Amino acid sequence: MNMTGTCMEKESVSLYQTKGSTDKEYHCHLDPVDGGWVVYGRNGRRGSALTHQAKTATPLPYAEAKGIYDTLVRTKLKGGYSPDDAGVPYQGTDLESDFTGVLPQLLKPIADEHAARLLRDDDWVMQEKDDGHRRMVSVKAPGELVGSKRNGFPAPLPLGVVADLSALPAGTILDGEALPGPRLSIFDILELGGRRLHELGFEERHALLTTTVKSGANVSVSPVYKGTASKTEAFERIRQKRGEGVVFRKKDATYAHGRPASGGDALKHVFYETGTFVVDRVAKDKRSVHVVVFDAAGAKVDMGKVTISSNVDIPPVGALVDVRYLYAHPDGKLHISTYKGIRDDLDISACSAAQLKYKADDALEEGEGDDEESDAAAG
């Protein structure tokens, strides 16, 4: 295996990722073909048949292909892959020292019919899905808190949030969502004073959370709705106010970081879709940007313009941004789009065309899009 390579040399690297029930491998290749150079990846579950992913449509000059190869490797490392076959995120890379090791549980999305069944199922409870950025909080000592993003890298915490949580004992880990204000909405607790709570059921964990954290000006505890009547009333109220969606959890659901291969005891239902896009260009003399995603071959797919409201900065070209929309058109347009903000906790692999949600009669044919698993739409 050659990770650094020398001038005009064939290169390859094997990377691994183990998170929760996920155990994946990704192999990056830079090979000479027909007088030029091509870049491709092969990925899949460890030990299974791997999927080929071309990153260059045709052979390119070495320097151009090498740049694509290096970007691919960096993207996978930043996304949690490791050259160490143990698959521990960032182990053996220069990112290891920054990685907090605190990773959230990610949720599988469900359709309307599934959500309707869970509203009637008393074994499942419901919370509102806050429209913000995932934020884990680790208490190192009373008043000494470390925030982390969904990818496990550090994130600053507002002073008001730190003040509201300053009395928590060391060894406490909270799971929540960073919201405008700035505020923090907390919906789960994973450790309390050094005691691991992962194996407790969600209802029991949430009861501990409500007695441990008191809502204040900067921090709130997300309420839980139980029973068909309470869940249905909250579901309709959240939808009417154009909230992002809801989260269903089994009462006895344990907590495991990462996303399950299928199903799971924690599921999300969104009323509006949220996607991650790259700013391709800024409209001249207008508060709007053109955004793109990338298809399976790595080609840009133009998704049209998104308006930027006057109270926020216009994101620069190349920035990764979240956009909320009702559905996507196959001809490249987002219907009823709303700019949500820059994502500095994701990488370019999140901007896949496969994440887009189309109207039922406009959906992609089966097999189209990127085959690689993506956490872009995670909660």
Which residues, in sequence order, are CB contacts of 95 under 8 Å at separation 6+? 77, 78
Query: Distance between CA atoms of 352 and 296, rounded to whole angstroms?
Result: 8
For residue 336, name the pLDDT band (cuts at 50, 70, 90). confident
- Check pLDDT > 70 for residue 107: yes
Please give the pLDDT value at position 79. 77
For residue 368, give every residue at least 6 positions away whose Cβ sits within 8 Å of its Cβ, in sequence order, or none: 296
190-245 pLDDT, tens digit each: 999 999 999 999 999 999 999 999 998 999 999 999 999 999 999 999 998 878 89
Note whether 53 and 41 are within 8 A (CB).
Answer: yes
Would you state the structure tokens that stand for residue 33, as one six-digit string?
């073909």
Closest CA to 292 of 307, 310, 306, 280: 280
Domains of the chain: 1-98 (no CATH), 108-270 (3.30.470.30), 273-362 (2.40.50.140)
Q: Cβ(185)–Cβ(179) under 8 Å?
A: yes
Whole-number pLDDT of residue 14: 85
Instruction: With a cut of 80, say whether residue 366 has pLDDT above it.
Output: no
CA distances from 259 to 7, 262, 331 (A): 39, 8, 31
Q: Is the pLDDT of residue 2 over 60?
A: no
Residues 94-113: b if buried by 16+ CB within 10 A, e if exposed: ebeeebbebbbbbbbbbeee
pLDDT one-digit tens code per residue, 157-187: 999 999 999 999 999 999 999 998 899 999 9
Question: Does the pLDDT value for residue 19 go beyond 80?
Answer: no
What DSSP state is assigned to residue 349?
G
Rounded distance, CA 258 to CA 104, Å? Answer: 6
Amino acid type, 83: P
What global pTM score does this model have? 0.63
Rg (CA), the chain: 22
123-127, 172-176, 374-378: the lowest-pLDDT one:
374-378
**Measured distance CA(173)–CA(84) in Å, rounded:** 27
Average pLDDT taken over every residue of the chain: 86
